[in-house]
Amino acid sequence: MTIIHDNRTIAAAVVAMVAFNAIFLSANGLFMLVNPLAWYDLVPGVTDTGFFNQHFIRDIGMIQLFLGAAFGLGMAMPERRVGLWAAATLWLSAHALFHFWEVAVGICSPAVIPRDFPAVTLPAILGIVLTFWAIRRSSAEKTASA
């Protein structure tokens, strides 16, 4: 991990955010792939979104697994970090915005916002923070080496 010139607090925060996204997204994706019915039954609010669809849950599970891997690989490969984190964050942000849109148009009640926050909105927010940090860090490193 190359976190040059950052103080320990920032470095620890970056590692914690990456760890959360990498571990949570990967674990969620694996859960969706291995046991989609248990995932459907156990995750709060999922049963309210429609009937069980094993194929759809596994499709999203693959996406979640790839998103988690993107955050992990971005930490291990600083030269690829911006692209990996930005791509993953775009999907996470679109997913979170879709959840807010469902509330805005009356498909879901506002009560779903806090319920969905840890699994939907938080990973997107962390991705945004991490991506901007990586862009800033990459620009600073390019300037320093020039």
- Residue 14 identity (one-letter amino acid): V
pLDDT of residue 40: 98
Q: What is the pLDDT of residue 1?
A: 45
119 located within any domain? yes
pLDDT > 60? residue 4: no
pLDDT tens for residues 59-88? Answer: 999 999 999 999 999 999 999 999 999 999
Residue 2 inside a domain? The answer is: no
pLDDT of residue 5: 55
Distance from C-alpha of 119 to C-alpha of 123, rounded to nearest angstrom: 7
Counted domains in the chain: 1
> E-assigned strands of the chain?
none
The residue range of the domain holding 90 is 8-145
Model confidence at 28: pLDDT above 70: yes
Q: Give me the mean pLDDT over the 134-139 stretch.
A: 92
In eight-state DSSP terms, residue 118 is I
